């Protein structure tokens, strides 16, 4: 690019007059965890420069923290931009922690987040232009909806399977390298399909007759009809 506002630790920034470039895509990212750590998932809503929907990405991650899920959403958006030919990317997130860490304003001290942060930086460096912006949660509702759908799938609250979804029909994962098909986040997801477990309640304790209950999974007790 011939002119820039400047460069920061987060990667290249667009000049102020290029935000309406026709090859610009904006990724609205969100991640959540029910329990923190608990069943986690992310959602990414990707929009083109003219406002059209480019893709909707959604993935259940297994038992992780909220911040882990936020970084997973960022990695998925970066992977999509790189693999689908979108060299200019703007990321919008309601995670102030992640945004400030990517901008270099906060240090990354978490051993869990450090590998995801470093992978994000590597992917950012491969783009022609990158920008990241923090917004309030109410301005990120489409990504929030996708993240909640992912968590619902993983917890067996819908009829959908627990895999990844994308409106483009493409994999919505965020691989750790250009040749991999899964991200550091998704590699350890281990999402299980909903299953029926048999047992009984005695003294306020659930006793399973068969099967095991995975960590971080909520159950609904339904009396058997006789």
Q: What is the 3-state secondary structure (H, E, C) of 8-39?
A: ECCEECCCHHHCCCCCEEEEEEEEEECCCCEE
Looking at residue 131, what is its pLDDT? Answer: 96
**Residue 34 lies inside a defined structural domain of this protein:** yes
Our count of domains for the chain comes to 1
**Residue 144 lies inside a defined structural domain of this protein:** yes
Structure tokens at 139: 């301005």
**Residue 202 lies inside a defined structural domain of this protein:** no
Looking at residue 85, the DSSP 8-state letter turns out to be T
Task: Name the stretches of the chain with pLDDT < 50.
Answer: 1-12, 14-17, 159-194, 215-218, 226
**Residue 207 lies inside a defined structural domain of this protein:** no
**Residue 164 lies inside a defined structural domain of this protein:** yes
- In terms of DSSP bridges, do strands 11-12 and 7-8 run parallel, antiparallel, or are they unpaired? antiparallel
**Residue 57 lies inside a defined structural domain of this protein:** yes
Per-residue pLDDT reduced to its tens digit, 155-176: 998 644 444 444 443 333 433 3
- Percentage, residues of the chain above pLDDT 90: 58
The range of the structural domain enclosing residue 33 comes to: 7-187
Per-residue pLDDT reduced to its tens digit, 111-133: 999 999 999 999 999 999 999 99
Contact criterion met (CB below 8 Å) for 149 and 42: no
**Residue 62 lies inside a defined structural domain of this protein:** yes
CATH number of the CATH domain containing 164: 3.30.420.10
Taking CA 207 as the corner, what is the angle to CA 205 and CA 210, rounded to the nearest 5 degrees?
160
Spatial distance between the Cα atoms of 64 and 32, rounded to a whole number of angstroms: 9
- Percentage, residues of the chain above pLDDT 70: 61
Structure tokens at 206: 């659930």
Spatial distance between the Cα atoms of 96 and 70, rounded to a whole number of angstroms: 10
Looking at residue 32, what is its pLDDT? Answer: 97
Taking CA 16 as the corner, what is the angle to CA 11 and CA 21, rounded to the nearest 5 degrees?
85
**Residue 212 lies inside a defined structural domain of this protein:** no
């Amino acid at each position: 690019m011939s002119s820039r506002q400047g460069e920061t630790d987060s990667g290249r920034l667009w000049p102020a007059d290029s935000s309406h470039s026709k090859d610009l895509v904006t990724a609205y990212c969100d991640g959540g965890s029910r329990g923190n750590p608990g069943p986690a998932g992310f959602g990414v809503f990707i929009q083109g420069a003219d406002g059209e929907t480019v893709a909707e990405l959604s993935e259940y991650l297994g038992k992780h923290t909220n911040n882990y899920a936020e970084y997973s959403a960022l990695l998925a958006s970066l992977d999509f931009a790189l693999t689908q030919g979108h060299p200019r990317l703007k990321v919008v997130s309601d995670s102030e922690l992640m945004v400030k860490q990517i901008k270099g304003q906060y240090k990354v001290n978490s051993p869990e987040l450090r590998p995801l942060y470093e992978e994000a930086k590597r992917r950012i460096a491969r783009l022609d232009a990158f920008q990241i912006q923090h917004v309030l949660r109410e301005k990120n509702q489409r990504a929030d909806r996708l993240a909640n759908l992912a968590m619902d799938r993983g917890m067996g609250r819908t009829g959908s399977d627990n895999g990844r979804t994308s409106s483009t029909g493409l994999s919505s994962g965020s691989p750790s390298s250009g040749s991999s098909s899964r991200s550091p986040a998704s590699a350890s997801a281990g999402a299980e399909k909903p299953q029926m477990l048999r047992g009984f309640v005695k003294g306020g304790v659930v006793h399973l007759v068969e099967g095991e209950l995975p960590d971080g999974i909520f159950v609904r007790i339904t009396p058997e009809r006789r």
